[in-house]
Amino acid sequence: MHRAVRTSSLALLCAGFSIGLPVAAAAADFAQVYQDALANDPTYQQANATYMAAREARPEAWASLLPQISGSAGRSLDHSAGLSTSIGSSASGQPVPASFYATTHSNARQWSLNLSQQIFSWTDWMTLKAADGQVAEAQATYQAAAQNLILRVATAYFNVLSTLDTMQAQESSLKAFDLQLEQANKRFEVGLIAITDVEQARAARDTAAAAVISAKQALATAEDQLEVITGRQYDTLSEPGTDMPLVTPNPASQDQWVQTSLQQNLSLIASRLAADVARDNVRIAFGGHLPTISLVASRSFNSAGVDEDIVGLGTFNLPSWTNDRQIGLQVTVPIFSGGGTEARVHQAQYQWIAAKDAVEQSSRSTVQQARDAYLGVISGIAHVQALQQAMTSSQTAYRATEAGYRVGTQTEVDVLNALSTLVQAKTNFASSRYAYITSVVQLRFAAGTLDTNEVQAINHWLTSSASVSPGAITPEAMTPPAPAPTPKPPAAPPPPPP
């Protein structure tokens, strides 16, 4: 009866491993997660807004070369009253003071129209040229951010699945150690082993329980990292099926992938354009030494009506108006600016040198990324195949151990150990496939060819569903149940009678 119960418990445990992950009714696949990230990722949205802002550099530069027209108009009313005293002459020629009280009302109107057109300005033309480079650099940076979004989504997505497999492996190991501890307790009760063997089994079980807690924390952290990108939480995710293809890079040449990366990597292209902009900034700064020529024209009109009332003399109306037209050619020659222009030229030259060094650094980094990603795909294929064979061997070993357990040549612990080895082999095999997919994405990213078509191609490989919800984040949910207490040692037999 006891053997049947143990066999039934073991069968249930094996069935749990054979069934695998629970299938969700509605799993979010890789393409759906990418669409969520496309709509909600703050980093990508920031890159988009930065690109849209940078596009305005060209119309801003054009504005300095187009006619500048300004106008003004105004009207003013003035009222003043007061007593004025002056020295006059009498009929006999003697000086006498004369005082009079006057009230003045004035009504003035004016308007003006001004036109300025740059005829020659080296700085403005170089600014326009640099603006074209700035827009091109911003576009390349934005496209690189779009490709980087796919890479970040893939990394976070498959990191969730990898931590999920690790957690399941740790949970299966914990179940195995629970059964091993249970068996050790029963053997201790009948006096077959010492208490130290039970404590060793308990220590192994507690270590496995701590590993389960760490694995649950890692899964929750991985899900949070994915939520940072997508703004959503997922109960289920699609994972690779058993028929996932292992595609060799085309072309199958590391050097060709490196050359493609040097030509098409968007981050490298953006750094080259930034160097071009830095070179144009040197020319802009040098324009501070050159004269500018402008055509200026203006027209203005002023009118005023003054009513002055002098007590004793009467009221006088004093109107006035002017209509002015001007046109001219204005030449501005910088003579001395305190050394500021020369300092700005030197500053721009050093920034150009730094930009060229940044291009070299980006070029070397791109070559390294392309080589590492290519080797990752090639070695990933071999790794997946090797671990698939290891999983097949573990399955064979597990079946043989289980058969030996049925006929009595293998113990329950042997079966559990074989089962743990099989679970670990399955976990390693699954993790190797995630690493292979990530390497494919990294290779496309390094080559500058990562796009939505690659997202759809990877999505076709994901034909199964996995429950990734860690459940409630509480001490009770995160901590596995405690094992049964250690039984007391069997009582010693009574001494024989004298």
Q: Cβ(466)–Cβ(237) under 8 Å?
A: yes
Q: Which of 4-8, 13-17, 472-476 has the lowest mean pLDDT?
A: 4-8
> What's the rounded Cα separation, in Å, for the pair 330 and 117?
10
Contacts of 246 (CB under 8 A, 6+ apart): 380, 381, 384, 385, 436
167-180 exposure pattern, b = at least 16 Cβ within 10 A, e = fewer = bbbbbbbbbbbbbb
CB-based burial of residue 131 (10 Å sphere; 0-12 exposed, 13-18 middle, 19+ buried)? buried
Please tell me which residue, 79 or 262, carries the higher pLDDT value: 262
Inter-CA distances, 422 with 28, 33, 257, 401, 415, Å: 28, 31, 37, 12, 10
Q: Which residues have a Cβ under 8 Å from the Cβ of 421 and sit 6 or more positions away?
A: 394, 397, 398
Residues 221 and 219: their CA atoms lie apart, in Å, by 5
* The pLDDT value given to residue 477: 66
> Closest Cα partner for 237 from 131, 335, 158, 312?
158
Q: Model-level pTM? A: 0.79
What's the per-residue H, E or C state across 235-283?
A: CEEEECCCCCCCCCCCCCCHHHHHHHHHHHCHHHHHHHHHHHHHHHHHH
Nearby residues of 389 by Cβ (< 8 Å), 6 or more positions away: none
Residues linked to residue 323 through DSSP beta bridges, in sequence order: 301
Domain map of the chain by residue range? 2-40+122-290+339-478, 70-120+292-333
Identity of residue 243? D
Helix or strand holding residue 455 (H, E): helix 452-461
Strands 292-310 and 95-120, bridge-based pairing: antiparallel
Q: 167: helix, coil or strand?
A: helix
**Higher confidence at residue 486 or residue 180?**
180
The one-letter amino acid at 142 = Y
Q: Taking residues 50-72, what's their average pLDDT? A: 92
- For 28-60, the pLDDT digits (tens) are 899 999 999 999 999 999 999 999 999 999 999
The residue count of the chain comes to 498
Report which DSSP code applies to 408.
T
Amino acid 496: pLDDT: 62
| 291: its two tokens | 């004269």
Q: Taking residues 144-172, what's their average pLDDT?
A: 91
Q: CA-to-CA distance for 418 and 413, rounded, in angstroms?
A: 8
Closest to 161 measured CA to CA, from 37, 41, 33, 249: 33
Instruction: Tell me the average pLDDT of the chain.
Output: 84
3-class DSSP state of 176: helix
Q: How far apart are alpha carbons 61 and 126 in whole angstroms?
A: 9
Tell me if 493 sits within 8 A of 49, measured CB to CB. Answer: no
Handedness of CA 408, 413, 418, 423 (dihedral sign): positive
Calculate the CA 138 to chain-centre distance: 16
* H helix count then E strand count, the chain: 12, 6
CA pair distance 156, 225, nearest whole angstrom: 6
> What backbone torsions phi and psi does residue 461 show, to the nearest 5 degrees?
-80, -20
* CA terminus-to-terminus distance, the chain: 42
pLDDT tens digits, 304-361: 887 777 766 677 777 888 889 999 998 999 998 888 999 999 999 999 999 999 999 9
Looking at residue 176, its pLDDT comes to 79
What percent of the chain stands above pLDDT 90?
47
Q: Which of 3-12, 28-37, 448-457 has the lowest mean pLDDT?
A: 3-12
Domain with residues 2-40+122-290+339-478, CATH architecture: Up-down Bundle (1.20)
